[in-house]
Structure 1
Amino acid sequence: MPSSAGPSIDTITEGGRVTQVGEGQDADETTPPVMTFGAPTAGEILAERYELVEHINNDSAGRLVWRGVDVVLRRPVAVVMRYPGGDSATEMLQAAVAASRVVHPNLVGVYDAIDEAERAYVVREWVDGQSLRDLVSGGPLDAARATAVGNSVASALAAVHATGMVHGNVHPGTVMISDDGRVVLADARTDGDDSQESDVRAVGGILYFAMTGYWPHAEVPLRGATAGHGRAAIPDAVRDANGAVAAPRQVRAGVPAYLDDLTMDLLDAEIAPPPSDVLTAELARLDVPDDDYLDNSGPLRFTGETGEEPSPLAVAGGRKVALGIAGLLAVALIGLLIGISTLGDDNEDPQTSPVAAPTSSAPVSEEPAAPAVRNLKISNARIIDPDSRNRSEVRDAEKVFDGDQDNGWSTETYPSSNFGNFKRGMGVWIDLGAERTVKSVQVSLSDRGASAELLTGTIDAPSSTSGDEQVLTAYLKNKIGQPFETHDGTTMTFNGFDADQKYRYLLFWITELPPNNNGFKVGVQEITVQGS
């Protein structure tokens, strides 16, 4: 039964109504719900726990967003409802269950997911604030604030990706800014149409939108967004005659070159994006309160570099911080030494004192800047096929690191996923040219459903059946991270590297093939190695 008096909850209003977005795209207030049977009413208590206080809006998928309260814990909640429930609400509920497993300060907390057949609803954290879309409607953000937002979103994605999941719905309507400045990501999807790579590229879109007010991914429509649905529509980016997106600096003055470069690198389909945890670390270096640091930290690029020098960002930004700390330490040391001298024997001649204060405040030492994480150059690759006698599939290994996602190496077609019981597997062996510190390896595949693992070793045997057997036998003893079993995406990211160990040779070993037309096969389109 409805309660007689609902609790008082502080809310934020906009134009006379409360704003609370993040579960899909909110649409015109006149958007009708899916159907009227089972419609909720104010004061109703769901599952004997969640009281509905006020209908906030409908998203353009027909779901209702309500402000409510958990009458047990006495905390405000948002209730996202769809009716009917059942099969029509499966995706929404599955996404909520998956999201509830990841707890992170930059992710909206999911508390409950309930299907009552005639209607289904998700109960999640209530955020007093507004979406990034609404915030930027008042004007683009400056570089420092845009960087902070991008860093928070990347951090949330890193937490999601660490579990093997994909968010799949990163856009200005699902990035929420609370009144206390907290940035949270909401409304994950589980329909399997996205990848961790597309999540990372969406961070580039968030940075672009925050700095310009335009969305660069118009060729991939926002989920549930319909042109003309009021605030659901977001202006497309400025484009040239060929459809290429104009850089943020071409749209708005004052965008730092390094942030412009980073954003365009993330949006460039020809440049492999870094894993989300690597992107988070890079953005964290930029997310500092002193604007002077931001203006002078230099460019940040994720493109592969052939030299061994750390990125200009690490040199400029890291060195400036190191110099500042070293300077403070030097001043403290001078003060300490002078104090010791002063407190010594009053009769002692200060000119002959064994402790003399330095005459310069220059730093006494400088810590070297940490090497930047970047794409490492692959110097060589070959196919490892120890169970074959005709060696027909060992060609074209160089295509896995040519920078072309559409041009890779592929197995032949087999009658079953286990290579027709003829082979233990096949793999791509890569040589980094020298021992390196490796952060992650990302492998782009042609199809979903493959099983594979990443191995490492120290031998480089000849390219032959016996040589391949030597490599496989030695490398199977050294696995990197967890294997992927019938992976539901086309990108595999391996992060289980030892930070104190150097690596030169790696082996991407395929153990099970996905279905493809009339048989089973897979292509390795591109392998990207991140490290220093």
Structure 2
Amino acid sequence: MHEVWPAPDTLLASRYRLVTLLETGGMAQVWRAADELLDRPVAVKLPAGDTRAAHLAWREARLAARLSHPGIAAVHDYREAVRPDGSVAPFVVMELLDGETVAARLCDAGGPMPWGEAVSIGTAVAEALAAAHAAGVVHRDIKPGNVMLCPGGVKLLDFGISAAAGEPDDDETGVSFGTPAYAAPERLDGKPAEPATDLYGLGVLLFEMVTGEPPYDVNTWEELALAQANGPTPLPEALPARLRELILRCLDEDPLRRPTAAQARRVLSRLIPSAPARLTIPLPGRPPTGLARVLPTPAAPDRSPLPRRLAVGAALAVIAVAFIAVINAVGDSQREAEFAQPPSGAPTTTAPAESESTPPPAPPATTSTTTSPSPAATLTVDVALSRVRAAVERGEDRGEIRPDVALDFMNLLRLIDPDSEADSTDQVDQLARKVRERLNEGGMTEAQAALLQQRLADLRGLLTTP
């Protein structure tokens, strides 16, 4: 009778003691283990016994060792153990994570998650992919089961079939193709590894999070080919238009038409809903608590005659608000145009970038002798907050702020609630400190830091003005 190997309490490489089997897949087992040298819990990944799986374990360790990012599960070690029959078993030692995968979350929910939550997860995954691609690593297996939701944030797992960017795809067995429902079309054509493959996976991940099913819910490669001929199922119309557009861009069959990970992260980060009290659109399945804070409360009708002069002034105010909304909408659409590439062969035009120092257009001259209010007199907290956000976004777009620094700033800005003066002032002060810290670390240019400090000072002044 052959001994079952591995088993709990097995000591690998005189250091890693197996504790509990966490997961068994077609290519490997993942164990909870104890690192007896450093006295810490770890995860040990033991591949299946064939030569191909052992080679993939070595590749995974080498490629993942290039990466150091809070959104990517860390690889600690690569070792080899000896089985009872004398054969060698390579294994990878990884960071042990607590939490649940997106696949488990969707299974427990029995359907899609709120689109705001999906966007937040997608932003973190895109940020991790941008870091991996910058290091020349392509994951090639982005799917709900490889995204872990941990107490400290989102983690990208399992670089088991990853490859170096540009590396030829010489796998004739198909073992490294991944799961049919999540495989990019170019993988089936044997094209070299490229970052666009991961963006297809990100599109599938987002699609499944907001609909509950992948765009092609298939189990075999033959079923996938038939499903792709008909195209994916439509996305819900209730989703934000930019989210739908991004998902479809990621799922484009042509890798050249997909956005980069950095572009996808910027689009997704701008779609993350603010705190519930600041929402202008309620999340699916949640009461519209934010609307009461944004829309004015209807007042009792005033039966007294309204002077014509006040009526005209009110009408002009409404027109001005509408004009500002249109300008903001146009600006947003221009900022997102960077990932919306035109069809092949179509002419392209590039609009000049908006300068931070460009003043707003002067109002037309009038014969009135009334003095126009200065910009500072009309600046509100909401406008000042929007000016800080715009400075961060444009700084990132121009390469004057590192993407991870910009994401950190945007997350802090979302916590600012103008109705809570003390908390908001603390958040602004924290942001000002972070600007100085990130400048010293080389995370932004001096000009960008000076601009942000000025805009934060304007915002703080408004928050503390009685």
Which residue of the partner structure matches residue 104 of structure 2? 134
Q: Does residue 235 of structure 2 align to residue 198 of structure 1?
A: no
Which residue of the partner structure matches residue 257 of structure 1? 241
2: distance between equivalents of 1:221 and 1:102?
32
Secondary structure of 1:146's counterpart equals: helix
Query: Pairwise mapping of residues 405-424 of structure 1 onto structure 2 (< 5 A)?
Result: none
Q: Does residue 248 of structure 2 align to residue 281 of structure 1?
A: no
Secondary structure of 1:60's counterpart equals: coil
1: distance between equivalents of 2:23 and 2:379?
61
Q: 1:97 to 1:294 in 2, by over 3 A?
A: farther
Query: Pairwise mapping of residues 99-178 of structure 1 onto structure 2 (< 5 A)?
Result: 99-116=64-81, 117-137=87-107, 138=109, 139-178=111-150
Question: Would you say how many aligned residue pairs link Structure 1 and Structure 2?
Answer: 286
1: distance between equivalents of 2:340 and 2:98?
39
Identity percentage of aligned residues: 26
2: distance between equivalents of 1:140 and 1:243?
23
Which residue of the partner structure matches residue 45 of structure 2? 80
**Partners of 2:129 and 2:261 within 8 A in 1:** yes
Tell me by how many angstroms 1:256 deviates.
Answer: 2.0
Equivalent residue for 2:158, pick from 180, 186, 191: 186
Which residue of the partner structure matches residue 350 of structure 1? none
Q: 1:53 to 1:437 in 2, by over 3 A?
A: closer
Tell me by how many angstroms 1:243 deviates.
Answer: 1.5
Q: 1:258 to 1:113 in 2, by over 3 A?
A: same
* Gap regions ≥5 residues in structure 2: 82-86, 170-192, 282-324, 343-347, 357-373, 401-444, 447-466
Which residue of the partner structure matches residue 303 of structure 1? 340
Which residue of the partner structure matches residue 50 of structure 1? 16
Secondary structure of 2:263's counterpart equals: helix
Which residue of the partner structure matches residue 300 of structure 2? none
2: distance between equivalents of 1:203 and 1:359?
45
User: What TM-score, normalized to structure 1?
Assistant: 0.46
Tell me by how many angstroms 1:367 deviates.
Answer: 4.7
Greater share of residues in strand? 1
- Greater radius of gyration (CA): 1
Which residue of the partner structure matches residue 212 of structure 2? 213
1: distance between equivalents of 2:8 and 2:124?
34
Which residue identity lines up with residue 268 of structure 2 in the other structure? L
2: distance between equivalents of 1:100 and 1:372?
31
2: distance between equivalents of 1:37 and 1:289?
56
CA RMSD of aligned residues (A): 4.3
Which residue of the partner structure matches residue 368 of structure 2? none
Query: Pairwise mapping of residues 456-495 of structure 1 onto structure 2 (< 5 A)?
Result: none
Which residue of the partner structure matches residue 230 of structure 2? 243
2: distance between equivalents of 1:282 and 1:181?
19
* Gap regions ≥5 residues in structure 1: 1-35, 228-235, 319-355, 374-435, 440-498, 501-532
User: What TM-score, normalized to structure 2?
Assistant: 0.52
Which residue identity lines up with residue 258 of structure 1 in the other structure? R
2: distance between equivalents of 1:438 and 1:104?
20
Which residue identity lines up with residue 25 of structure 2 in the other structure? D
Which residue identity lines up with residue 113 of structure 2 in the other structure? L
Q: 1:92 to 1:171 in 2, by over 3 A?
A: same
Q: 1:217 to 1:70 in 2, by over 3 A?
A: farther
1: distance between equivalents of 2:208 and 2:349?
33
Which residue of the partner structure matches residue 29 of structure 2? 64
**Partners of 1:86 and 1:119 within 8 A in 2:** no
Query: Pairwise mapping of residues 432-451 of structure 1 onto structure 2 (< 5 A)?
Result: none
Q: 1:438 to 1:113 in 2, by over 3 A?
A: closer
Q: 1:166 to 1:360 in 2, by over 3 A?
A: closer
Q: 1:59 to 1:87 in 2, by over 3 A?
A: closer
2: distance between equivalents of 1:204 and 1:167?
14
Tell me by how many angstroms 1:280 deviates.
Answer: 2.1
2: distance between equivalents of 1:58 and 1:215?
23
Q: 1:135 to 1:209 in 2, by over 3 A?
A: same
Secondary structure of 1:262's counterpart equals: helix
Q: 1:94 to 1:360 in 2, by over 3 A?
A: closer
1: distance between equivalents of 2:234 and 2:351?
27
2: distance between equivalents of 1:44 and 1:264?
48
Q: 1:310 to 1:65 in 2, by over 3 A?
A: farther
Which residue identity lines up with residue 22 of structure 2 in the other structure? I
Secondary structure of 1:304's counterpart equals: coil
Secondary structure of 1:114's counterpart equals: strand
**Partners of 2:257 and 2:341 within 8 A in 1:** no
Q: Does residue 252 of structure 2 align to residue 268 of structure 1?
A: yes
Tell me by how many angstroms 1:208 deviates.
Answer: 0.6
**Partners of 2:125 and 2:154 within 8 A in 1:** no
Tell me by how many angstroms 1:221 deviates.
Answer: 6.1
Which residue of the partner structure matches residue 484 of structure 1? none
1: distance between equivalents of 2:246 and 2:52?
42
**Partners of 2:15 and 2:37 within 8 A in 1:** yes
**Partners of 1:38 and 1:118 within 8 A in 2:** no
Tell me by how many angstroms 1:257 deviates.
Answer: 2.1
**Partners of 2:118 and 2:206 within 8 A in 1:** yes
Which residue of the partner structure matches residue 55 of structure 2? 90
